[in-house]
Amino acid sequence: MSHWLFDLGNTRLKCARMQHGGGLEEATAFGHDQAAFVDALRRHLDDRQVSGSACLASVASPALTADVLEVLTTRFQRISIARTQRRFAGVQVAYAEPARLGVDRFLALVAAHARAARPQLIVGVGTAVTVDLLDAGGRHLGGRIAPSPRLMREALQRAAAQLPAQGGQYREFADDTEDALASGCDGAAIALIERSRDRAASLLGQVPALLLHGGGADALSPHLHDADPAPSLVLEGLAQWALAGIVRSP
């Protein structure tokens, strides 16, 4: 029986087949803005003749989540929907109301702790930049949320149409507008991450490892010392969720 994992974010869906033991095969991503997104997902699954079980984590709208679930229910015998838990797989969530912590952030914490029991700063770069601190014992110490560089650029263009929403190169002191926009918006995210890591080091008495995931992580990674790229971190956490379900199955 095959086990598939689906990470439905605010801008794209990532999916992968889970290997025996919780490893992942190569992930495939579909942008929500693609024409006939749901049809593309349906064809993708048909081409692979999927069966077995599926696990879905979604932070997308209820309507889009329902559309994806409709496709999955016609392809899989069993579907599990991941939900944020106060305690799971050695991780303890800081939120007084755990359900208010996005399931993508929750699963990234689970995956990070499964990788190594050490202090870690987990940064997701998608529609938003999310920063979460995890100690060596799996205790979540809280986090931050800010607009991503892409969202900053789009917001600036909406307010001032002459400012391009894309383009430019990161430079410490740019001498043209496109580079200045790229440098300012990327730099704002980099500064947030660097300050978070600095304050985390003061709190924990050691510098935490830095994990970067999400579609916008590649642009920031070269500017962050010792960053560890983890592009499928949410899917890795979802694999831990799936394994727990498999263990509990009769």
State phi, psi for 240 to the nearest 5 degrees: -65, -40
Q: How far apart are CA 135 and CA 204, in angstroms?
A: 8
Helix 177-204, helix 149-159: angle, nearest 10: 140
Rg (CA), the chain: 19
Is 7 marked active-site?
A: no
In the structure encoding, which two tokens stand for residue 180, read together? 């200045």
State the catalytic residue, choosing from 104, 132, 135, 186.
Answer: 104
* Strand ranges across the sheet with 227-229: 140-147, 128-134, 120-125, 209-213, 227-229
> Exposure string (b/e) for 97-117, b if CB count within 10 Å is 16 or more?
ebeebbbbbbbbbbbbbbeee
| Cα 218-188-152 angle, rounded to 5 deg | 80
Catalytic residues: 104
